[in-house]
Structure 1
Amino acid sequence: MSDFFYGIQYLFEEILFAPLHALRGMENWWTANTLNWIFMIIGAVAFVYWMGQLKKFNDNNEENKDITAHSYL
């Protein structure tokens, strides 16, 4: 049974995380953090898109803003 868990450990540490270990050992800060910058850009684009969608629905008055619209009010 322990061989199964050692196999999972080997898979993650030696195979799946190998690109991240290579990024960690780089001398240049900018290239080492490229993956982080990509994720930050994706998050910023998603945030701008989501805010645009909320503005579109708000401008169309599609939300029920009546005082009894939500049960928690």
Structure 2
Amino acid sequence: MFTIEHDFDATVVTLIDEGGSHLQEDVVVSAFEDCVTINQFDPRLNEMRTITLSLAQVRDLGAALDLPEGAYQLEKPD
């Protein structure tokens, strides 16, 4: 399950784990004008963990999901 919210400065997608018996914490993906952040609560450390991706990294990640194993370099858009 997931939710989508449009805030003032970002689009926020929350991914809710509905899998088997070992559920993970929710993942919150926030898309800003210049980057994307991914947040997840870490219960072992009792704190929120954040990863920040550039828009180029997000583009590469999207492409990587549809490619076989290997090393790739995408051409920069004009």
Structure 2 length as normaliser, TM-score?
Answer: 0.19
Which of the two has greater strand per residue? Answer: 2
Which of the two has greater helix per residue? Answer: 1
Return the structure number with greater relative CO, CA threshold 8 A, min gap 6. Answer: 2
Structure 1 length as normaliser, TM-score?
Answer: 0.20
Structure whose CA Rg is larger: 1
